[in-house]
Amino acid sequence: MRYIPNSTQEREAMLREMGRQSIAELFRGIPDQLQLNRPLNLPAALSETEALSFFRDLAERNTTRHTGERMVSFLGAGAYDHFIPTIIDTLISRAEFYTSYTPYQPEISQGTLAAIFEFQTMICELTGMDVSNASLYDGSTATAEAVLMAERVTRRSKVALAANLHPEYRQVVDTYVRNAGITEQTIITCAETGTVLPEAILNLGSDIAAVIVQSPNFFGGVEDLQKLAEAAHKIGALFVVVVAEGLSLGLLQAPGKAGADIVCGEAQSFGIPLSFGGSYCGFFATTEKLLRQIPGRLVGQASDSEGRSGFTLTLATREQHIRREKATSNICTNQGLYALMATIYLSTLGRRGVREVAEQNLQKAHYAAQRIAALDGYQLCFTAPFFNEFVISCPKPAQEVLDELTDKKIIGGLALERFFPEMKNEVLVCVTETTTKEEIDALVEALK
């Protein structure tokens, strides 16, 4: 096997040197009855050529812009098709980054540590928060961790989640809290705007650990975070802002500035490929005051005995390998390499690029929304301002509309009925900077 350096002869020589007769001797600790005395029932080994063609065939059976049926897509809903600079893949393909372990030995892991330190800085800048961790699995689990942290901080066991939170994030929170003695409440949203109104929060009562609001919300609408933060704080709850579309932060007010106590979400938009939903990169930021309750790893600055400055994992006493069942989270491996991708993206696009991409999303999405809403029978479902996603109400069941569009090589968006049974005619449409005017016009034409 080409991944195993020692030849059979070398292995035999090693055995002899150790005074052993056979490899089987090394497995004598396994009782005979448990030894699998047959080959695994798996296909015989493929050569590199065969493996490549096997995976090419599979990949070709998926429809994307350039594979399978070759379709333009207007899907978003927590996973966004954005421009990815070539150099991200160039840099993360350096073996020093992708074939290294968690940086537990700082003297020979300074590259990873420095990059995470930059990631933490950039997340703080974008969210307007004091501290960020080194990443979590994804936006959904970051949201669940925020709920668990709020319970630890406030010692309250009830959390309130906006009805327009990403439904899969909500499902993940449901799973995480089920056995944690935490109960959930849903914050109703305004039928007209599709957003959360402060009154809905004020009506929650005074025993809520956290108010969890996503902005832009699942329907694409931008929430008035300042007003909602005030309401959440009035009832003594932490205000948690979830950001599923990171690039919206290129344009929208930093949630920290609006009064958020925790800002968490998904960094996929920062240079991470769609990859059928993963791997992505969760982020998690909070205030200085709540630092000691943050889940996951943190990188901090430190110096050696000669005064040279470097980076190291720090405040590990919160973590599972030290605190075990009393840790702030069970997370160990996180999304290190993908945090690096986001960091390289944010460096490459930089101050101007992040803003320019965000503005292109805004402009193109509004162009598309206006044109679709001008069609007979179609209208925008909600009145709130939006970033790059919006809900369209169709004149007939959304799934029928989408099926007709796929016949015309367009994936028109996400039918919302799967998550919101009452929204039979509604489609969530996403338009990013990668969608051309021509493609938008083709969608509008196909809807006619």
Partner 1 sequence: MTHALPHGRATATPENAVIRKASTHINQNEGVIFEHSRPGRVGYKLPALDVEAAPIDSMIDPKLRRDDDLAGLPEVSEVDVIRHYTRISTWNYAVDYGMYPLGSCTMKYNPKLNERVARLEGFAASHPYTPDDLAQGNLELILELEEALAEITGLAAVSLQPAAGAQGEMTGLMVIRKCLESRGDARKIVLIPDSAHGTNPASAAISGYQVQTIKSSGNGAIDLENLRQVVNENVAALMLTNPSTLGMFEENIVEVCRIMHGAGGLVYMDGANMNALVGVTRPGDMGVDVIHLNLHKTFSTPHGGGGPGAGPIAVTKELESFLPFPRVVEESNDERQRVLRLNYDRPQSIGRVRAFHGNFSVLVRALCYILSLGPDGLREATESAVLNANYIAHHLKDDYEIAFDGKPMHEVILNDKRQQKSGVHTLDIAKRLIDYGFHPMTIYFPLVVPGAMMIEPTESEGREELDLFVDAMRSIAREAEENPELVKSAPHNTRIGRLDEAGAARKPVLRWKPAKAS
Contacts (CB under 8 A) with partner 1, residues 237-256? 249-254
Residue 218 or 378: which CB sits closer to partner 1?
218
Residue 194 or 206: which CB sits closer to partner 1?
194
| Residue ranges in 318-377 that form contacts with partner 1 under rule CB under 8 A | 319-327, 329-338, 340, 343-344, 346-357, 359-360, 362-364, 366-367
**Best CA proximity match to 74, nearest among 417, 435, 437, 447:** 435
Q: Where are the beta strands (DSSP E) in 305-433?
A: 309-313, 379-380, 389-393, 410-411, 414-415, 426-430
Alpha carbon distance 292, 153 (integer Å): 10
Binding mask 396-435 for partner 1 (x = CB under 8 A): ------x---x----x--x---x--------------x--
Residue 383 lies near partner 1 (rule: CB under 8 A): no
Residue 343 contacts residue 268 (beta carbons within 8 Å): no
SS3 at position 142 = helix
| Residue ranges in 30-89 that form contacts with partner 1 under rule CB under 8 A | 30-31, 33-36, 39-46, 48, 51-52, 54-69, 71, 73, 75, 77-79, 81, 83, 85, 87, 89
Residue 224 lies near partner 1 (rule: CB under 8 A): yes
Residue 219 lies near partner 1 (rule: CB under 8 A): no
| Residue ranges in 187-216 that form contacts with partner 1 under rule CB under 8 A | none
Binding mask 86-125 for partner 1 (x = CB under 8 A): -x-xxx-xxxxxxxxxxx-xxxxxxxx-xxxxx-xxx-xx
What is the amino acid identity at position 414? L
Residue 317 lies near partner 1 (rule: CB under 8 A): yes
Member of 190, 204, 315, 373 binding partner 1 (CB under 8 A): 315
Residue 438 contacts residue 100 (beta carbons within 8 Å): no
- Sheet with 158-162: strands ordered across: 131-132, 282-286, 262-266, 238-243, 208-214, 158-162, 183-187
CB 46, min distance to partner 1, A: 5
Residue 416 contacts residue 427 (beta carbons within 8 Å): yes
What is the amino acid identity at position 149? M
| Residue ranges in 144-183 that form contacts with partner 1 under rule CB under 8 A | 148, 166, 168-169, 171-172, 174-176, 178-181
What is the amino acid identity at position 94? R
| Residue ranges in 260-289 that form contacts with partner 1 under rule CB under 8 A | 273-279
Q: Tokens for 266?
A: 């998904």
